[in-house]
Structure 1
């Protein structure tokens, strides 16, 4: 388990002051969850507290992956310095006054850069602030984006009516993680995402959920069903229907258990499911989850008694207390 050790170059440790520079220039355009990580880390830094990544995630109701992304975000912003050795993060908070002006590969005065900013301003229908310009230039260095990709990113966000820097930063990170470097990469990525969302929507529609209600954890779980367990979408929809019929509410953990049960029985398609249903069941037995290789990487592995889980969920749905 990764342990965070916080250290500081600040002299006054009697309180936890937050710099106005952070509030005025960093906090306003940073993701809200990342701000919470920074502030909690700042407090830990001053009082010499140590937290594991898991503890921070639990305390802030975030995933461990999100905590690590937040720390890397602030490192790229020049506010902290990360060292990772022997399973431990050392998180060093830097004086904001020493961050200085950011230096970028490309200058705001470059002709091509000015043309890109003019294009973005036309798309947004307003002038860009110096902070926005600085952020766009930082993506060239941080994500290895071309000017074309940045313009396409803004255009993509405009079509979704989501033009805050916070949202654009999330898209930029997603494109970077997917290896998008040029227009061809982006075209292929968007095609893949479109196909994936068609499948997401089918599953969510079956559960009576809107796309706005789906969280990143839900998408990750649906990806595991389709990629790691290898289920057809039609089989996943069957599991969704079975969940709704049995407990009268959408439950991703319950659907997950149904699919794990089917996976252990060798079911991957609707035909496989129909064949299994035709086989007479002489004796009902509990199924123990045998996770496929690489399934739920980063999670603690446990065994589940499906019969017991179903009994408890049914009791809960009827308002009965469990044993």
Structure 2
């Protein structure tokens, strides 16, 4: 008996399922499709792994686009994505590419004459889906993963949110540019804690939220920031300035000007210090600032010359800067 040695053969063909082409590809962004097909190629070639930087380079994308694509395909269920270490390394398993193709090939081999196209699993899932979930899927512009569908049903059962309230919640998050499940769940928890259980209360809350963000956007636009990119600590500062301190947009923009003129940049912590001082001194309007600037300055020795006195305003921005930056210690 002779042993026949086989040399490994790597196909130069990337196999895509018909269901991917018919159902998933039309709904996905172009760069997401590029990432998925490239992952499929290297998986089918038996590669152990690729780096996000490599994918970004060969596809002409940013690394952030690559990560967004991976999150998208994980959400729709075509890949299983797991972080495996503290450096952000990931384990990726292509979950449905072969299972979506095999049934089609098997059926056509068994009955070559049959021309009727079999219904794919995603299509069946969509047809049989709860009407609320169907509408949510349309709002989000993509099919829901099974875990996402379960989460929305959980909102309904656990938080006792009406279906129309959940739909309003999703619509609100999508319009804010934050259609990810983590943010949607955060809003759902907030609504539950506030007792927002009806469509009327939900609409009132959304209107109040939009009015609040209209004020925020004026400040953010003025200092060159986007409301979609603002970190939570900065958002909390804006809320404090408007709704705890009670300052108008005009006064906050004035504080922004002072920060820029003093530091050469807009520093949120510095602005917060200015507004706290104004609150303490009961300065609420631009006229109050003007009146305060006309008050006689207190005599205070400079650091350069202890024996030379000078007068300054009761509200001293230079002194505030030193304190905020820790230079007075």
Deviations along 1:97-125, one digit per CA (max 9) or x if unpaired, are xxxxxxxxxxxxxxxx9222232334345
Aligned twin of 1:281: 296
Distance 1:125 1:243 in 2: 42
Look up the SS of the partner of 1:231 in the other structure: coil
Pairing 1:198–2:209 present? no
Deviations 1:68-95 (A, max 9, x none): xxxxxxxxxxxxxxxxxxxxxxxxxxxx
CA contact (8 A) 1:243 1:250 kept: yes
**Judging changes above 3 Å, is the alpha-carbon distance between structure 1 residues 252 and 283 closer, same or farther for their aligned structure 2 residues?**
same
Asked if the contact 1:206–1:237 (Cα under 8 Å) also holds between the matched residues in 2, the reply is: yes
Map 1:45-84; keep pairs closer than 5 Å: none
Partner of 1:229: 245
Q: Separation in 1 of the partners of 2:176 and 2:218?
A: 20
Q: Which has the higher contact order (CA 8 A, sep 6+)?
A: 1
Cα displacement (A) at 1:283: 1.4
Relative distance call for 1:246 and 1:177 in structure 2 (3 A) is farther
Instruction: Give the equivalent residue in structure 2 for 1:210.
Output: 226
Q: State the distance in 1 between where 2:215 and 2:237 align.
A: 13
Task: Check the 8 A contact 2:177/2:228 in 1, yes or no.
Answer: no
Runs of at least 5 residues in structure 2 that lack an aligned partner in the other structure: 1-73, 76-81, 87-128, 302-315
Aligned residues: 193
Name stretches of at least 5 consecutive residues in structure 1 with no aligned partner: 1-27, 30-34, 41-112, 287-304
Could you give the per-residue CA deviations for residues 36-57 of structure 1, whole angstroms, max 9, x where no partner exists?
9xx99xxxxxxxxxxxxxxxxx
TM-aligned CA distance change 1:267 to 1:125, over 3 Å: closer
Report the Cα distance in structure 2 between the residues aligned to 1:222 and 1:215, rounded to whole angstroms: 11
What is the alpha-carbon distance in structure 2 between the residues aligned to residue 116 and residue 227 of structure 1?
Answer: 36
Matched, 1:310 2:326: no
Distance in 2 of aligned mates of 1:123 and 1:259: 40
Of 201, 219, 224, which residue of structure 2 is paired with 1:185?
201
**1:29-44 equivalent positions in 2, closer than 5 A:** none
Deviation at 1:197, TM superposition (A): 0.9
Deviation, 1:160, is: 4.5
Q: Residue 242 in 1 paired to residue 258 in 2?
A: yes
C-alpha contact 1:235 1:269 (8 A) present in aligned 2: yes
- Please list the CA deviations of residues 202-242 of structure 1 after superposition, one character each: whole Å capped at 9, or x if unmatched: 21222222223321111211221222222122111111100
TM-score, scaled relative to structure 2: 0.50
Q: Deviations over 1:269-288 (max 9, x none)?
A: 223223323x33231679xx
Distance 1:134 1:272 in 2: 56
